[in-house]
Amino acid sequence: MTDLPHTGAPTNRFWRRFRRHKGAVIGGGLLALILFAVLIGPFLWLHTSGQINITARNLGPSLAHPMGTDHLGRDLFAAILEGGRVTVLVGLVAMGLSVAIGTAVGILAGMFRWLDAPLMRLTDLFLALPVLPLLLVTIMLWREKLRMLFGAEAGIFLLIVAMIGLTSWMQTARILRAEVLALKNREFVTAATALGVRPWGLIRRHILPNVLGVIIVSATLGLANAIITESALSFLGLGFPPDHPTWGRLLFDGTEYLTLTPARAIWPGLMITLTVLCANYLGEGLRDALDPRRGFGRK
């Protein structure tokens, strides 16, 4: 095969286009900063979220406590850093699961004609599920059992991650199926098939590298969705237990002290919003950069 002169160009073009989308660049940078902060922040910060200091109750922001303290004098900034770890971890793992299922279903449905109809009917069926009520019901019914099996934190973590992953893969599957169907008609796939490449080899060498961009966009938007869902569950009191507070749980706990210390509700909410906003902007910028014809509408 001869090397075409513009082999390296698509990547450069992608970066050039991505950099033009200011929101996406800022969003990506901030998101990286947030991930970094919750990852190493708890090691570096002076306080831990468990330290009780009755003399320093309900303080406003100061140098020692940048976000103030709660009714037991615990540092809110430390709680935000530690809670962010759980929130971000739930978001990443649930997103990974959702993208993995969506990719598998989408590629299988696109590649194998006999699997197409059953898999797409399954996708339709999942799209017809009332997600939020179902999540609440499942968590109510299975929480105790899993808590006994895996411990308080691990049990609820597994349950929430599995449920979010299982109920959010459908869009990814649909988009990937369409991409794969379009790719299957391209010459290089026909050529590879003619050369005797097996279906699995075809998927690995030719299909997957070509749909990677779409998968990354799905993953970014999926992260935002998973974080919102987890926070909503925690806000409704059906998420993580109060001794391992995520941002959603901190917000929920903060709502009881709205008249006294509104900061306790505002900071966690602001962190959720900022993270989700960054992820959405990043996903949008990536998608626009990958597909120049696209405006900014979703789907």
Binding footprint of another protein on the chain (CB under 8 A): 23, 124-125, 127-134, 136-138, 140-142, 144-145, 224, 228, 231-232, 235-238, 248, 251, 254-255, 258-259, 262, 265-266, 269-270, 272-273, 276-277, 280-281, 284, 295-299
Shortest reach from residue 259's CB to another protein, in Å: 5
Residue pair 77/146 in contact by the 8 Å Cβ criterion: no
Residue pair 217/287 in contact by the 8 Å Cβ criterion: yes
Shortest reach from residue 33's CB to another protein, in Å: 17
| Buried residues in 260-280 as b, exposed as e (16+ CB within 10 A) | ebebbbebbbebbeebbbbbb
Shortest reach from residue 192's CB to another protein, in Å: 33
User: What is the C-alpha radius of gyration for the chain, rounded to an integer number of angstroms?
Assistant: 23
Kindly tell me which of 77 and 235 has the beta carbon lying closer to another protein. Answer: 235
Shortest reach from residue 224's CB to another protein, in Å: 7
Kindly tell me which of 105 and 272 has the beta carbon lying closer to another protein. Answer: 272
Instruction: State how far the Cα of 259 lies from the Cα of 257, in Å rounded to an integer.
Output: 6
β partners of residue 69: 75
Kindly tell me which of 6 and 299 has the beta carbon lying closer to another protein. Answer: 299
Kindly tell me which of 113 and 293 has the beta carbon lying closer to another protein. Answer: 293
Shortest reach from residue 141's CB to another protein, in Å: 4
Kindly tell me which of 149 and 182 has the beta carbon lying closer to another protein. Answer: 149
User: Exposed, middle or buried, 147 (CB in 10 Å: 0-12/13-18/19+)?
Assistant: middle
Could you tell me the two tokens for 95? 């997103």
